[in-house]
A = this chain, B = another copy of it.
């Protein structure tokens, strides 16, 4: 089996291409440091819909349209769409794409969803099952708070390690051929659970999973960390990012120079009152599609390892005192 490198990595010899991408975010995200890079900023958190849940579906729907338009690919040519989100039973995704008529694989990796989608979609293309696919995900601050935490009207105090769910969506068109950044390797995460059970400290829960996947990727590929111009994690935010650097240091891997975290970048933690930083499926997806994809296109960076992390818990598991199993999926991208 020639495509496998080590236990968790595959090499994609055909190098599927990112043919287009699109990002949409809410008002607060638009006011953050990356505001000018996002393709659409919605001022109205309802997107003219009646509920936050319907608003998130509309956000995702419009973002998928944007990605297809950006790649100049007619919908009829899309072989598969991979999508998932944080809302119970991933309904943001199913309602977003229900009228598209595209064969659909629902995926759930919490905030790691965009990398899980890219992993599966690029293997489908490399394996000869598809020529064009779309990967998409989203999150919405109001819908996520209502579902995972408290009614917004309570105005609950937030802990310093907590994260602010991003209202945002990212969608990516992958193609068999063409110009654009290429996906060269996929490293699929295994679940890591070191016993963190504080649902207000997702960064601490997810950092060990990110460290494990990055370390495994480097071992499997024989690359050193400085091969990558950037190693981008999804939403560890400040608390989790510090832990990640420290965990990798213990394994003699230093990514302090080339590490970036979408959860640290999307908001200004000093002025935007987001505590540790941003989170949510839409965080990594919108920052990658809005910012890093364009950095790749204009050749400001060449080699990227995109490592999206997910906390695989729910309110019931947290209330029952369970720990937070976490996962991180990585895709290597060459600009």
Contact = CB atoms under 8 A, between A and B. Distances in A.
Contacts of A54: 320, 322
Interface in A1-45: 1-4, 7-8, 10
A89 B314 contact: yes
Nearest to A312: B94
Interface stretch (A107-115, A244-252, A290-298): A107-115
A94 B313 CA distance: 8
A152 to B, nearest CB: 15
Interface stretch (A63-71, A127-135, A228-236): A127-135
Contacts of A4: 79, 129-130
Contacts of A193: 98-99
A100 B108 CA distance: 18
A226 to B, nearest CB: 25
A126 interface: yes
Contact of A1 (B95, B119, B128): B128
Interface in A79-95: 79-80, 84, 86-91, 94-95
A323 to B, nearest CB: 8
Contact of A190 (B7, B103, B107): B103
A263 B228 CA distance: 51
Contacts of A191: 94, 97-100, 104
Contact of A120 (B1, B79, B104, B105): B105
Main secondary structure of the interface of A (DSSP, over half): loop
Interface-central residue, A10, A50, A89, A191, by most chain B CB under 10 Å: A89
| Interface residues on chain A, size class | 35 or more
A86 B106 CA distance: 13
Contacts of A10: 129
B190 A312 contact: no
B89 A110 contact: yes
A155 to B, nearest CB: 22
A52 to B, nearest CB: 10
B88 A2 contact: no
Contacts of A104: 188-191, 327
Contact of A316 (B88, B106, B127, B315): B88
A315 B147 CA distance: 12
Contacts of A102: 190
10 contacts: A84-B108, A89-B108, A90-B312, A94-B313, A94-B327, A95-B322, A105-B107, A106-B108, A106-B109, A123-B123
The 7 closest A-B pairs by CB, nearest first: A127-B127, A94-B312, A103-B188, A89-B314, A98-B325, A106-B108, A98-B191
Given A89-B312, A106-B116, 12 more contacts: A1-B129, A2-B128, A4-B79, A51-B316, A53-B316, A87-B316, A88-B314, A89-B108, A98-B312, A103-B188, A104-B188, A105-B107
